[in-house]
Amino acid sequence: MIHIEHLKKYYGNFPAVDDISFDVARGEILGFLGPNGAGKTTTMKVITGFYPPNEGRITIDGRDVTEESLKTRAMIGYLPENTPLYHDLTVYEYLKHIADVRQIPNGEQKHRIRTMVEVTGLQHRLGQPISKLSKGFRQRVGLAQAMLHDPKVLVLDEPTIGLDPNQIVEIRDLIRKLGEEKTVILSTHILPEVQATCDRVVIIHQGKLVADGTPEQLQHRFQGRPVITLQVHGAPDDAGEKLLAIAGVETVDREQNSEANVKQFQIATGTTSDPRSDIFRLCVQQGWTLLGMTRRVESLESIFRQLTRRDEPAVPVEEVAA
């Protein structure tokens, strides 16, 4: 549905987006992840036709966003990073204005506004000026305006920013529900959000794509193998060989341990196997005292940190202040 091919976008000489390619399938919810300044907002602005790309191309449902910008814009609902709301207007007046801009026929406007207001839970706020709404409700107005013309594609730049935990859950549920019939690309810094909402994740860092896959695939690809740390008391020197004989165990490394008669092992296992119960049974059988056993699987959060570690040179304060 969304096809991005070798996209480059410069601000002056600075490549904010540097040769990014990925696709978003129809009905997919894609999480667009990256630290501050990674290029997420810039990419979204090119997708939505706000900026032309410097190089590469983007198509929405087969149409080029630069060549057919009016048509592609009509297919997209966009929640920008800083929702530009008209604060003097009431929620209803604002949505009515958007409906006019989006050229929704007069006869359909009320129905569309009513539907979006229900979907986003704004029923009791319709007559209130936007300036008097809390941040979370303004965010909902932003979402309602993005969806008003029933677009096929939703581009949401940090849709849950500024929301309280209850609202975050509601908006996530809403996005998941929308994702059943729409193609959604949403940016976020929040890892649990991706796991809770997204079918697929693209991670960018300093304008470059560093990972693309389902949350599970990324965990598999970057975690290596799950590792079990085992501590036992009273095990003989050949305990490692016995552990290695257990199905699913791939390697066993003995670690230094200063406590007398305590042995510690790092046991790497296959990505899908968890031989902890067999290890426990072996300990019981052999009469070793089990002091500790933990299994570590790399979290999406630590994958994200590994992939997006800062390697920019820091500018000294003196230089900026001078």
Residue 65, both tokens = 């966003």
Name 129's bridge partners. Answer: 90
**CA dihedral for 155, 160, 163, 169, sign (positive or negative):** positive
Across the chain, where does the E strand assignment appear? 2-11, 14-24, 29-33, 55-60, 63-64, 76-79, 153-157, 183-188, 200-205, 208-213, 227-233, 249-255, 262-269, 289-296
41 lies in the binding site for Mg ion (CB under 5 A) = yes
Closest approach of ligand ATP to the CB of residue 320, in Å: 15
Window 71-100: residues binding Mg ion (CB under 5 A): 81
Residue 274, both tokens = 């968890």
Q: What is the dihedral of CA 40, 44, 45, 49, to 10 degrees?
A: 160
Closest approach of Mg ion to the CB of residue 120, in Å: 22
Q: Which does 188 bind (CB under 5 to 8 A by kind): ligand ATP, Mg ion, none?
A: none
Residue closer to ligand ATP (CB basis): 157 or 298:
157
Closest approach of Mg ion to the CB of residue 150, in Å: 26
Binding part of the chain for Mg ion, among 32-40, 129-137, 248-256, 264-272 by CB under 5 A, reads 32-40
Q: Which does 164 bind (CB under 5 to 8 A by kind): ligand ATP, Mg ion, none?
A: none
Q: Which does 231 bind (CB under 5 to 8 A by kind): Mg ion, ligand ATP, none?
A: none
Q: Which residues bind ligand ATP (CB under 6 A)?
A: 11, 16, 34, 36-42, 81
Closest approach of Mg ion to the CB of residue 118, in Å: 29
Q: Which does 120 bind (CB under 5 to 8 A by kind): ligand ATP, Mg ion, none?
A: none
The string of DSSP codes covering 159-194 is TTTT--HHHHHHHHHHHHHHTTTSEEEEEES-HHHH
| Binding residues vs Mg ion (CB under 5 A) | 40-41, 81
